[in-house]
Chains A and B, each alone.
Chain A
């Protein structure tokens, strides 16, 4: 659509505005042709023209994955006999668009929903069990985490698309230098390792800022591994002010001082990537993007010996364990069909098309292990044998994921705790020096207001 088309479109829109207001016709008139458009608007809605489907997604961390989707859009258009457009926006802006779309009842037909947003926007989503169930059955079943996030009240309100795993990326050579061949299995062990490395100017890097990915994926599992939890299984009783929580906070204070880069309080999701690539930190929790980017830009990202950095990256997964076990919080994402959309059947067909093995497989491969499939069948995809050894850790990663709100269900209340960064701030406050008991009490107060 070049600039001259746009002027024509604008002109005909302004004319049509008055006609539409007068005539009240609701035709979805194609943009071209001023006079035709005006006449058409006064007739009954004309369904002869092309149906349109608007999909809204985030700008993927891996540009090649988006490239694959952009390539698939015209294929899907042909297969479905409609015009499919995929729009990519910054992940932080997804919710603003979703909110205004739902409130004004106009916007994209399909929106990518992260975490457990289907619970948040449940009243505006269409039941897509008829799409999700068959896919799940045919592909070995969905991972458990999607039962928590995409299913609301027993119905599938979104079709699971994928999971972004996270692991600890670490510098193999630096760890071998101090005699560590395998990634530490317990928090205490990791703290010792980190202490030695920090003394050499190579601390562990962890983000604790108000950012959507890295901070929560670290803090929640840390809490769980010491036995802390937000609520009891009923989801109504707040149990955060417990011995487990306080122990985890105390541990974290020591861990932070001894082993971490203390600038992490201001880090968002991008700082650790850059710090790792520049050789400032020795280990950090992240998705596969550190490795994938280091490999794809190996001529630019080198270690201090001039070798491509990606050769020195190893992944440990999941995070170390505490007294209560080893846990992980991954980012699940799914596609929701919006109830205000005019092309719901078309939307469902598109999702069925998207999840067909050939189409999904190509997207899956383009990701290079950054996002893994939503169903178990993708664990056996040949890509895993071809992918670099350090990335194989992500293969079955999604099996262990928990969702926030644990031990209760991941309802809108849990989302509120997440978006208010209460758990993250708990650890941030501990890192800043506040007493563990006070911090736990503060978190309890905040959670109580939410889980009423």
Chain B
């Protein structure tokens, strides 16, 4: 039975039941017909109903995002500092940010960080999903425990990692040292490139389970008959994956990748706790640098400009992915 069919069957039964109920309600409702009728007609109207349904969302988002976002944009084009509203200065903050060498490093770091982390999360997540897509004892426990890195508050798990990477007390170094693999401590957080790598490792550790579970869900919709047919035709495991599984999973993959990119790009807590942007700015991201400038230095206008600098890039990525998803769905 295909996935949609089951739903149709189930909802057919429910539809009949609710139709009975509706009929019964209709009988009861007639005495109030006049007043209830107007309300009913309104609710039947597609646009009115849509408006009502969207109302709570629009209220909350307008109050708590629209205004702050508008204020944020205003901040970015003003010379505001903490306590001083400042004056309109147009694009000066953006120009200054553009020419800031630390900002350029942060931009570069963010792109590298997001790209590498996403690739690894996708790759490792896919492999894990394929592994979890089997029957084995303890399947449920394994699936639940695999999600643990995603569940634990980022701030707290990053502290654990901070100690695991500690320049002096790292347990990873200790283990490698004991096994004779290294003779010098690995400078996980002190070496500029390794530090970025360490931050990526923690991000992948944290985000990969989400990819895995979501891709697992997608895998379970792939009809095993397709695989069997292909196997009979002589396709190897690898070919079966690329020709059958991967294309069918593409819509899921794209959605998950999209959300992951957005979150990773705006990542703050992880880097803030692990390295604070150091050593020598080699792990600064947009969000951590914006925080350093806006809050620690009190230059709200510039901090806002840095924060908003992410926005166009994200926007482009989002549009591209939405277009791609639509294209894949259409095919």
Contact = CB atoms under 8 A, between A and B. Distances in A.
Interface string A41-54: 00000000000000
A99 B187 contact: no
Contact of B278 (A210, A274, A415): A210
B187 A263 contact: yes
Most chain B CB inside 10 Å of its own CB: which residue of A95, A445, A446: A95
Contact of B191 (A96, A121, A265, A425): A265
B168 A210 contact: no
Nearest to B80: A103
B82 A121 contact: yes
A440 to B, nearest CB: 14
> Which 5 residue pairs spanning A and B have beta carbons closest together?
A263-B167, A266-B189, A210-B276, A265-B190, A266-B190
A432 B84 contact: no
A76 interface: no
Contacts, number: 115
The range of chain B's interface size is 35 or more
A124 interface: yes
Interface centre among A261, A275, A278, A420 (most CB of B within 10 A): A420
B228 to A, nearest CB: 53
Contacts of B251: none
Given A102-B83, A266-B195, A268-B276, A416 B167 contact: no
B279 interface: yes
B6 to A, nearest CB: 43
Of the listed residues B84, B166, B275, B297, the one surrounded by the most CB atoms of chain A closer than 10 A to its CB is: B297
SS class, residues of chain A in contact with chain B: helix
B169 A274 contact: yes
Interface stretch (B18-26, B44-52, B288-296): B288-296
A121 to B, nearest CB: 6
Interface of B: 81-84, 96, 99-102, 165-169, 185, 187-192, 195, 275-281, 291-300
B82 A429 contact: no
Contacts of B279: 208-210, 265-266, 428, 432
A308 B102 CA distance: 45
A98 interface: yes
Given A120-B297, A266-B275, A415-B297, 14 more contacts: A261-B167, A261-B168, A262-B187, A265-B191, A265-B279, A266-B188, A266-B189, A266-B279, A267-B167, A274-B168, A278-B168, A425-B281, A428-B280, A445-B101
A243 B190 CA distance: 28
B101 A211 contact: no
A445 B279 CA distance: 19
Contact of A209 (B96, B185, B278): B278
Nearest to B186: A263
Interface in A254-280: 261-268, 271, 274-275, 278, 280
A122 B293 CA distance: 18
A123 interface: yes
- Chain B residues touching A, majority SS: loop
B295 A95 contact: yes
A278 B190 contact: no
24 contacts: A96-B291, A99-B294, A99-B295, A99-B300, A120-B82, A209-B275, A210-B276, A263-B190, A264-B167, A264-B190, A265-B190, A266-B167, A266-B187, A266-B190, A266-B278, A267-B167, A271-B167, A274-B169, A280-B168, A412-B81, A416-B299, A420-B293, A425-B278, A432-B192
Contacts of B166: 271
Nearest to A434: B280
B298 to A, nearest CB: 5
A262 B299 contact: no
Interface string A169-195: 000000000000000000000000000
A416 B298 CA distance: 8
B280 A432 contact: yes
A446 to B, nearest CB: 7
A91 B296 CA distance: 12
Contacts of B292: 419-420
Contacts of B281: 421, 425
